[in-house]
């Protein structure tokens, strides 16, 4: 199975460094520079396709991103972003200050609005649900995507907060060859 992930386009909260989680924040207006990046990603997607499934979470920022790419995605709640609970709407720095090294080294010890063990379980359910698909395109979220990348690389999500995956970045995980490509 090959999984291609594009993290949603930036939102105003992304620009301000605020945690979004389950908050249904729309994307910001697309700038010319962002459109150039979308066009570059579309060329890579054309090369990586065709896709048997195009998926997005239930949150509008992933659906809006998919539509900017010209896709009408299937919606799957397994792809929803991590629930940051009381930290949603707060600066990311507050999360780091509160949990320190545990957030970076062993995030499964941290309990937010959703435990990170639950997020890992959603990753496992996703992989089981789509394991027979040859090639999938996902319009996803930062924490969910980093958790999948960590799971792909190490077998669990504990490395997720050491991974950088920017808005509108495209990454390919080939579960058959264990090859990671970043575009």
The matching CATH number, chosen from 3.30.530.20, 3.20.20.370, 3.40.50.1240, 2.40.170.20, for 2-171 is: 3.40.50.1240
84/2 Cα distance (integer angstroms): 29
What predicted TM-score, i.e. pTM, was given to this entire model? 0.93
Cβ-contact 155, 20 below 8 angstroms: no
Residue indicated by tokens 């990586």? 48
* Distance from the Cα of residue 34 to its chain's centroid: 18
User: pLDDT class for 111, splitting at 50, 70, 90?
Assistant: confident
* Residue extents of the structural domains in the chain: 2-171
pLDDT of residue 182: 61
Rg of the chain on CA atoms, in Å: 15
Average pLDDT of 44-52?
95
């Amino acid at each position: 199975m090959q999984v291609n992930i594009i993290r949603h386009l930036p939102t105003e909260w992304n620009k301000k460094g605020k945690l979004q989680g389950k908050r249904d924040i729309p994307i910001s207006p697309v700038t010319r520079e962002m459109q150039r990046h979308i066009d570059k990603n579309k060329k890579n997607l054309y090369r990586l396709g065709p896709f048997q499934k195009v998926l997005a979470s239930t949150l509008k920022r992933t659906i809006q991103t998919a539509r900017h790419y010209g896709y009408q995605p299937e919606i799957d709640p397994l792809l929803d972003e991590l629930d940051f609970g009381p930290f949603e709407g707060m600066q990311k720095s507050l999360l780091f200050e509160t949990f320190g090294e545990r957030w970076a080294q062993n995030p499964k010890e941290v309990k937010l609005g959703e435990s990170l063990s639950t997020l890992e379980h959603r990753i496992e359910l996703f992989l089981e649900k789509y394991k027979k698909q040859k090639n999938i395109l996902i319009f996803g979220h930062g924490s969910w995507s980093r958790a999948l990348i960590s799971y792909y690389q190490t077998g669990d999500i504990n490395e997720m907060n050491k991974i950088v995956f920017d808005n509108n970045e495209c990454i390919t995980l080939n579960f058959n060859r264990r090859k990671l490509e970043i575009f």
